[in-house]
Amino acid sequence: MKIKGLNERPAIGDNKKLKARFLLFEKVLDELNKKEIPDEIVGAINSQIDEVNAATDEEKGLKTKLKKSQNIILKLVEKELKFVTINHYRNLYLGVGLALGVAFGSAFGASLGNMAFMGVGLPIGMAIGIAIGTQKDKEAKESGKQLDLEIK
């Protein structure tokens, strides 16, 4: 089974943000078409594409629907097939590292008796999170589980 495409919408040419969102969604679909995907997942992806194709040409509604459907599709392929975008894990672990940095900073500040040192933990946690995330991104690329696109 093959993943469907989006219907052409000539009316979006005037809106740069909507056009960029539309082109990114098409690129996601192109990248997924390059991979081996089971039929049940292709069916779920195609149902999201049908919803986007059925959406009206109203700018805000279409843009929201494109973003929502794209996120649903990417989460589905990540959960079921372990396919991720470029820098997915780096961005994910950056947030985790920042949260751990606050804990490290609090412990450091409490041990020194001056909570002004709490900010010291943030860059440490951020560096650790980026390092772990970059390593996991590298592993995903080596195993062929990385899609050749970056979501910003």
Measured in whole angstroms, the distance separating CA 68 from the mean position of its chain's CA atoms is 12
CA torsion, ordered 40, 30, 81, 65, to nearest 10 deg: -70
Predicted local distance difference test score (pLDDT) of residue 14:
80
Q: What is the mean pLDDT of residues 23-41?
A: 94
Residue type, 28: V
Compute the residue count for the chain: 152
Predicted local distance difference test score (pLDDT) of residue 145:
94
Predicted local distance difference test score (pLDDT) of residue 142:
97
Q: Using CB atoms within 10 A of its CB, is residue 121 exposed (0-12), middle (13-18) or buried (19+)?
A: buried
The pTM assigned to this predicted structure is 0.86
